[in-house]
Amino acid sequence: MKTVDTLLVVGLGLIGGSFAAAVKSAGACRQVYGYDLNKASLEEAEALGIIDCGFENLSEGVAAADVIMLAVPMLAMRPVLEQISPYLLGGRAAQKVVTDAGSSKKALLDAALETFGEIPAWLVPGHPIAGSEKSGVGAAKATLFQAHDVILTPLKHTDDLALEKVKMLWEACGAVVTSMDPYHHDEVLAKTSHLPHFLAFSLVDTLAGNPDNQDIFRFAAGGFRDFTRIAGSDPIMWHDVALGNNQAVLEALDEFTEGLQVLRKAIIQKDSQSLLGIFSRAQSARQHFSSLLESRKQRVKPLPDTAMVHSVFSGSVLVEGEDTKQEVMESMKESSQTFIASPGGSISGELRVPGDKSISHRSIMLGALAEGETVVEGFLEGEDALATLKAFRDMGVQIDGPYLGKVTIQGVGIHGLKQPEGPLYLGNAGTAMRLMAGLMAAQSFDVTLTGDHSLSGRPMNRVVDPLGQMGATIETSEGGRPPLKIKGGAQLKGIEYHLPMASAQVQSCLLLAGMYADGETVTVAPGIVRDHTNRMLNGFGYPVSVSGENGCRVAIKGGGKLTATRIDVPSDVSSAAFFMVAASIAEGSEVRLSHVGMNPTRSGVVEILQLMGADITLENESVVGGEPVADLVVRSAQLKGIDIPERLVPIAIDEFPVLFVAAACAEGRTLLTGARELRVKESDRIQAMADGLIALGIDAQPLPDGMMINGSGNTPSERKGEPVFNGGTIDSHGDHRIAMSFAVAALRAKDDIRILNCANVATSFPDFAGLANRAGMRIVVTEGLEDGSC
């Protein structure tokens, strides 16, 4: 690719000055020139070293440059293009490229069409999503665009070389370059950037005219300050945006006004349900997009010193200074959480851990496809389950909540889903992606399933291959990994599929696809598989046939329907497992874990701990919504090492990280085999746990399909409860179960255990640290950079 020799930046304000400074700092071209109507700005840019040379005559600057960046107000684009057009016509334009930094692409293209009679191939429209409320060349920073989006909006006939030159310059600035249709760009920015700014301007202007404005502004709380901060932006710039992108802005205003009228009506009518629906849907969406943004930050880490970040929700740019640094760090915290777990303590009290994640996922999926209203109580408000909820909202399903664990779903019927406007983002939810692959394979429309960095590295061929045998067309990335691009309109046929491993996700995926398939779909598992899907399908009135030893053969016929029902989600036994182990290993502990799901295909962790000598009793056993539940009373006990029976491995697969901690505290050797599945979870849980245990002084030997641990438990009564683990720093690899397991280990540690990358704990166990501390553990959550520094 031909490099850029000379660059002219027209308009040396914040954006133009920062672009010039960044290109010059990166050495991306030989000479950086500048032009500005304000001679003082030109002189300041030269004095600050932002440009190499300034031109007082625009025509001379254009003649000398290979690339011209127009960083002027939107309404100034046409006059500038007219002024420089003689140097951009005919042979003179052969080696020149023009780009811009405006926030409305239609305005630029209209100006170019009026000036040149066509959109020239050498014009590359662009828009950096970065800035500051400070203005002028004095506020310019070479780091302004680092790790920020820049959207280029080329047309079909845009010259490839011109596009590559502009892209190269932005990448030299440290920006993340994305391409987008120019008109779609204007629609998106109207909603995410322009509309929030205009609402903030309007609100402040309206309140400023109120007779009580002194008290209004005097007692304004943080919410008012946060929302209206962007009203401090440059009025001239936003005046030009309002006129330059007026059509898209008006459409966004109309759409917002309709929503505002719905809210107004609900308040007038005192419609409590509608109000809770609006607020809870907004809260859920906000949390979902926060997760999406944090996932992106894990792949592109902004430098804190740039002190600016683009908001997915408002499109606004945060202000430089101390307030901005605080907001940047706040926005980064999800991807940089660290647990510091202090040694000692005991566990006591009555605890209710969050709802079962597996059941929460399935309740949304089947409730959405049912006919009628499904009410879910005890829904897990973790990021994984919320990602599933958001995906079905994106496919046209009205879902109110969650509010205090309650979700109300207006089912659309088995054929009622609508094509989403874009890919369905599922965060870190592997269960959601694998189950939804089965559902989406049977829809009439194309859909793409995506996830965060962790999920994007997990294998999906285990569901893609059998779905292909049923007639589905699914494209994956290299190695069978997400995203999954699923072609709509497939005519699925029933098959008999023998699972290579006992996987509930694979079995459930095929059963959900089987609802749409011709004939009967049969799955045969080599061992016990958790049966939440079978139970819930029956609860929704869709018959499932279960036969064979341990229910290994499950069959479903296509063509049925789902009828709405009520679902009571029990507490998640996987989440309860952390407190079972904690109470077992911490001397003097006694805890009651209430309403825990005791599905026999999930309760392997209880049996394994009891085989190790744990003191666990079940009380208040009952069946709720087809799922067995019980209160678990756990008291401290001296554990002993065992060979874990392979029959229990599939029904305790998620609990092995914390079981490894129990094994380290036990007397004698614990051996696990037959658990190769642990290598392809959110992380390689065998290797990650072995590395962490070894770092803490435990004799742990990873095996291809398990682990051998020589426990350091104490048997003499006078030594009971002594420390087992050394202190140290552990990398959880972003795996929620590893993070929580090593937090439990601190109960028997000599010194603090510092656990890095704990943000994903929120995917399955919101407020784990808070509940653990209330129970008697000692966990401090800190926020720092992604390498764990604070």
729-744 exposure pattern, b = at least 16 Cβ within 10 A, e = fewer: ebbbbbbbbbbbbbbb
Residues 6 or more apart whose Cβ sits within 8 Å of residue 11: 35, 36, 70, 71, 72, 76
What does the mean pLDDT of the chain come to? 87
Q: What value, to the nearest 5°, has the Cα angle with vertex 482 and ends 477 and 483?
A: 85
- Write the DSSP symbol of residue 89: S
Instruction: For residue range 617-667, list pLDDT tens digits in order.
Output: 999 999 887 889 999 999 999 999 999 999 999 889 999 999 999 999 999
pLDDT at residue number 304: 34
Q: What value, to the nearest 5°, has the Cα angle with vertex 493 and ends 489 and 494?
A: 140
216-230 exposure pattern, b = at least 16 Cβ within 10 A, e = fewer: eeeeeeeeeeebbbb
pLDDT at residue number 90: 62
Both tokens of 32, joined, read 């950086």
Distance (Å, whole) CA 524 – CA 555: 9
Instruction: For residue range 573-594, list pLDDT tens digits in order.
Output: 999 999 999 999 999 999 999 9
pLDDT at residue number 271: 86
pLDDT at residue number 591: 97
Residue 450 · residue 423 · CB < 8 Å: yes
- When comparing pLDDT for 732 and 292, which is higher? 732
Tallying the residues shown for the chain, one arrives at 790
Q: Average of pLDDT values for 535-560?
A: 93
Residue 367 · residue 567 · CB < 8 Å: yes
pLDDT at residue number 103: 87
Give the DSSP per-residue string, 441-468.
Answer: TTSSS-EEEE--TTGGGS--HHHHHHHH
pTM: 0.63
Beta sheet of 496-498, edge-to-edge order: 496-498, 520-524, 553-557, 545-547
Q: Which of 104-108, 294-298, 530-534, 555-559 has the highest mean pLDDT?
A: 555-559
Strand partners, 31: 6
CA 301, distance to chain mean position in Å, is 15
Q: According to DSSP H, which parts of 149-219 are helical?
A: 160-172, 182-189, 195-208, 213-218
Phi, psi of 710 (to 5 degrees): -90, 105
pLDDT more than 90, % of the chain: 64
Give the DSSP per-residue string, 534-583.
Answer: HHHHHHTT---EEESGGG-EEEEESS---B--EEEPPBPHHHHHHHHHHH
- When comparing pLDDT for 65 and 336, which is higher? 65
Asked if residue 52 has pLDDT above 70, the reply is yes
Intra-chain end-to-end CA distance of the chain, in Å: 42
Asked if residue 341 has pLDDT above 60, the reply is yes
Residue 752 · residue 341 · CB < 8 Å: yes
Tell me the torsion sign for CA atoms 599, 605, 606, 608.
Answer: positive
Asked if residue 428 has pLDDT above 90, the reply is no
CB atoms within 10 A of CB 693: 25
Residue identified by tokens 């701990």 is 609
Residue 584 · residue 609 · CB < 8 Å: yes
Give the DSSP per-residue string, 317-368.
Answer: BPPSSHHHHHHHHHHHGGGSEEEEEPS----EEEE-PPBPHHHHHHHHHHHH
Q: Average of pLDDT values for 420-443?
A: 93
Asked if residue 724 has pLDDT above 80, the reply is yes
Q: Which residue is catalytic, options 654, 691, 731, 787?
A: 654
Residue identified by tokens 């951009």 is 88
Residue 741 · residue 334 · CB < 8 Å: no
Residue 455 · residue 428 · CB < 8 Å: yes
Q: How far is CA 675 from CA 366, 649, 678, in A?
A: 30, 6, 6
Residue 23 · residue 12 · CB < 8 Å: no
Asked if residue 110 has pLDDT above 50, the reply is yes
Beta sheet of 126-128, edge-to-edge order: 126-128, 149-152, 176-179
Pairing relation of β-strands 447-450 and 424-425?
parallel
Q: Average of pLDDT values for 321-346?
A: 58
C-alpha neighbours within 13 Å on the C-beta side of residue 456: 14
Helices 430-440 and 461-469 meet at what angle, rounded to 10? 10
Strand partners, 409: 374, 399
Task: Tell me if residue 654 is catalytic.
Answer: yes
CB atoms within 10 A of CB 773: 15
pLDDT at residue number 343: 95
pLDDT at residue number 220: 67
- Write the DSSP symbol of residue 191: I
Q: Is there a cis peptide before residue 483, judged by omega within 30 degrees of 0? A: yes
pLDDT at residue number 160: 93
pLDDT at residue number 465: 96
Q: Average of pLDDT values for 266-286?
A: 80
Both tokens of 653, joined, read 């697969």
Residues 6 or more apart whose Cβ sits within 8 Å of residue 409: 363, 364, 367, 368, 370, 373, 374, 375, 376, 397, 398, 399, 564
Distance (Å, whole) CA 515 – CA 511: 7
pLDDT at residue number 214: 67
Exposed/middle/buried for residue 25 (C-beta within 10 Å: 0-12, 13-18, 19+): middle
pLDDT band at 218 (very low <50, low <70, confident <90, very high): low
Q: Average of pLDDT values for 134-150?
A: 87
Nearest CA-CA partner of 6 in 70, 74, 97, 93: 97
Asked if residue 307 has pLDDT above 50, the reply is no
CA 148, distance to chain mean position in Å, is 18
- When comparing pLDDT for 51 and 501, which is higher? 51
pLDDT band at 381 (very low <50, low <70, confident <90, very high): confident
Asked if residue 327 has pLDDT above 60, the reply is no
Q: Average of pLDDT values for 676-697?
A: 93
Q: Which of 224-233, 285-294, 415-424, 641-650 is the least confident region? A: 285-294
